[in-house]
A and B are shown apart, each in its own frame.
Chain A
Amino acid sequence: MNHRIADRILVVVCFVGLFLPLACLVALLGDVMWDGVARIDWSFLTSYPSRHADKAGLLPGLVGSLFLVLLTGLICIPLGVGAAIYLQEYGQDSRLSRFIAINIGSLAGVPSVIYGLLGLGIFVRTFGLGRSLIAGAATLALLVLPIVVIASIEALRAVPGTLREAALGLGATRWQVIRHVVLPAALPSILTGCILSMSRAVGETAPLIVVGALTFVTFLPDGIDAPFTALPIQIYNWVSRPQAGFENTAAGGIVILLGLLLILNLGAVLLRAKLSKDR
């Protein structure tokens, strides 16, 4: 009898472990929705920030975040996938690249504010990019690069070695094998990893603050060298305002940010489903 009771207890413990955080999350989301949804309308999406809470909009933040994701992806995905291809497909027999591959995991755990300082030092100051979109995007790219590399390495590793052998046996070069056999097979997982890393970049605040994103912007960036703001920063700014009404505005911003993240993640799921159905 005793082991059956122990079994029951374990199930209950596991269920509580699942239920508690889930309940907290639902409560949090519900609270934010409650405060924020009423605030969301078309003009909220298309207006500039304002001193008046009920007139404030998040257009610059939204546009800034979209630009940031786009640029971050453009910088980070080719670099990350390229690094993964090198480490997994070419560098296998060198000790250095094995060492690097093992340690990339710890880079993913470095606090994001430290990447912000790195970005400030390298991109803003040394490269003289200033407090611009491109400096922010480059910093975010650095931040999520390890995630892209790890996801891509895993994806490449999951491609059976027998396929590489088959292609090599047909007289293909290493690059032809990678380009036509390995990459197509690994693509769904690589893309999923990339999209998830982009959604991580969208939510980042600390490194952008360090790099010098603005908090009150009444214009849209007109180039990659323009000053910018981003959704999380806009939200952070609203939350820290003492005036009444801004907490609802902030909540509205959070709902929009969550929506954006949800869309990105949904995109990853759909893309994956589509690509794996095509074969």
Chain B
Amino acid sequence: MAQFEVENLKAWYGDKQVLMDVSVSLPAQGVTAIIGPSGCGKSTFIRCLNRMHELVIGARMEGEIRLGGEDIMAPAVDPVLLRRRVGMVFQRPNPFPTMTIRQNVLSGLTLTGRLKRSEADEIVEKALGDAALWDEVKDRLNTPGAGLSGGQQQRLCIARCLAVEPDVLLMDEPCSALDPIATARIEELIAQLRERLTVVIVTHNMQQAARVSDRTAFFLMGELVELSETNTLFTQPADQRTEDYITGRFR
């Protein structure tokens, strides 16, 4: 497992600066939740961590991010290879519509030409098992991934990430398009994944942050206001702005 160290991270979309000057250390254990009002830069922050941010036209970033001691913004680092170590789950489930369940799970390997055919079955079963989806889909692995329910699709997307065996899993509001039951399944899953992965989850839902995370970071207007143990942040916030936010005094 690897820990993230972020120093003086600034990010822009065009002329608009969305991350002001963020310095934070995300330990290699457990789950870090990121909360904050819309537009506070929390999604941008995790998109910097796997260098997806720079793919947006006109977007740029500055500062230093180290993963397990290695500077991932160094020119010698290939962002493509970095993203195989730092997986990402998105807001809306986005299984590949032209692929079956099985092909979706293997897609990270087939896309990049790294799949050994003899290992495919094992990888599919393991990744789907780890994503708590195996029992539901084992009899229809060759049906389209888009035929699953929203919650199942999201777990399929998680399985797809896990099949690449990343060190870190970034989740950008993974439950915002799901119903409460599907949300509960994903949260259980996160509780299992935290044993093996560094998980960073952006969420709008403070109860969710409280349920799934060990630490919580509160972002406001592009700045990191506070990062504490989740319990502490929600019961005894150090900063007045955090308290205002979690008690709903402003949005």
Contact = CB atoms under 8 A, between A and B. Distances in A.
Interface of A: 92-93, 160, 162-163, 165-173, 176-177, 180-181, 184-185, 279
Interface string B17-57: 00000000000000000000000000000000010100101
A92 B55 CA distance: 11
20 contacts: A93-B58, A160-B94, A162-B90, A165-B94, A166-B94, A167-B107, A168-B83, A170-B83, A170-B84, A170-B160, A171-B80, A171-B83, A171-B108, A172-B108, A172-B111, A173-B112, A180-B107, A180-B110, A279-B144, A279-B146
A180 B57 CA distance: 22
A-B pairs with the 7 shortest C-beta distances? A171-B84, A170-B108, A169-B88, A172-B111, A184-B98, A162-B94, A171-B83
Given A92-B57, A166-B90, A172 B98 contact: no
A171 B81 CA distance: 6
A169 B111 contact: no
B84 A163 contact: no
Contacts of A160: 94
A168 B87 contact: no
A181 B111 contact: yes
Contacts of B88: 165, 169
Contacts of A163: 94, 96-97
Nearest to A186: B98
Contacts of B202: none
A167 B90 CA distance: 11
B57 to A, nearest CB: 5
B94 A177 contact: no
A184 B99 CA distance: 9
Nearest to A172: B111
Could you say which interface size class chain B belongs to?
A: 20 to 34
Contacts of B146: 279
Given A160-B94, A172-B112, 5 more contacts: A165-B88, A168-B55, A169-B83, A169-B90, A185-B97
Q: Which of B98, B107, B112, B160 has the most CB of A within 10 A?
A: B98
Contacts of B57: 92-93
Contacts of B87: 169-170
Interface in B95-145: 95-98, 107-108, 110-113, 144
Contact of A173 (B80, B90, B161, B164): B80
Contacts of A167: 96, 107, 111
A170 B98 contact: no
B120 to A, nearest CB: 16
Contact of B96 (A92, A166, A176): A166
A92 B57 CA distance: 8
B197 interface: no
Interface string B219-230: 000000000000
Given A162-B90, A279-B98, A169 B50 contact: yes
Contacts of B52: 165, 168-169
Contacts of A170: 83-84, 87, 107-108, 111-112, 160-161, 164
A163 B160 CA distance: 13
Contacts of B58: 93
B97 A165 contact: no
B241 interface: no
A168 B56 CA distance: 12
Nearest to B163: A170
Contacts of B108: 170-172
B185 interface: no
A176 B164 CA distance: 15
A184 to B, nearest CB: 4
B92 interface: yes
A249 to B, nearest CB: 48
A160 B95 CA distance: 11
